[in-house]
């Protein structure tokens, strides 16, 4: 679709749903879902969706938000803040949420380390018990 647009101003570029899906490695269904959730607002040309730079940027930010653990609604709320309140409130909110996510992941990581330590201990006990059984059977 980009080839169809003769516009040289990058801010006026347009993308089809397939263009965005291919670029970001997501399904068409994902993009439609983000549209349903209010993250994207493509222009309609007939029955085709046409996305502008704003939509592309919002999709990119939403996908990044999902990768770091934000829900779709959290990502939308933070992305929308830029237009509603400006950059500072948006960044402050994002910074606070990132700190919360870091604390949660650090806590889960500590729990996983404890589980791993316990598994190693149980594995050692099992190996020792099996070795004892092997030695007892060898004596018989």
Does domain 1-71 sit in CATH 1.10.1660.10? yes
Task: Say how many Å lie between the first and final Cα of the chain, rounded.
Answer: 80
Q: Look at the pTM and tell me if it is higher than 0.85.
A: no
Q: What angle do CA 57, 62, 66 make, to 5 degrees?
A: 150
pLDDT digits (tens), the chain, 140 positions: 544 444 556 678 999 999 999 999 999 999 999 999 999 999 999 999 999 999 999 999 999 999 999 999 999 999 999 988 899 999 999 999 999 999 999 999 999 999 999 999 999 999 999 999 999 999 87
Contact 58, 39 (CB under 8 A): yes
pLDDT of amino acid 3: 42
Contact 34, 62 (CB under 8 A): yes
**Reading across the β-sheet that carries 48-51, which strands appear in turn?**
15-16, 48-51, 43-45
User: What's the chain's Rg over C-alpha atoms?
Assistant: 26
pLDDT of amino acid 139: 87
């Amino acid at each position: 679709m980009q080839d169809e647009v003769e516009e040289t101003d990058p801010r006026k570029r347009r993308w089809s749903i397939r263009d965005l899906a291919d670029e970001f490695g997501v399904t068409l269904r994902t993009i439609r879902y983000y549209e349903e959730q209010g993250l994207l607002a493509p222009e309609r040309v007939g029955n085709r969706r046409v996305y502008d730079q704003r939509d592309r940027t919002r999709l990119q930010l939403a996908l990044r938000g999902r990768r770091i653990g934000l829900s779709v609604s959290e990502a939308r709320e933070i992305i929308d803040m830029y237009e509603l309140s400006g950059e500072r409130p948006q960044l402050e909110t994002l910074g606070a949420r990132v700190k919360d996510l870091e604390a949660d992941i650090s806590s889960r990581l500590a729990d996983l380390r404890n589980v791993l330590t316990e598994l190693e201990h149980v594995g050692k006990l099992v190996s020792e018990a099996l070795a004892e059984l092997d030695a007892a059977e060898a004596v018989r």
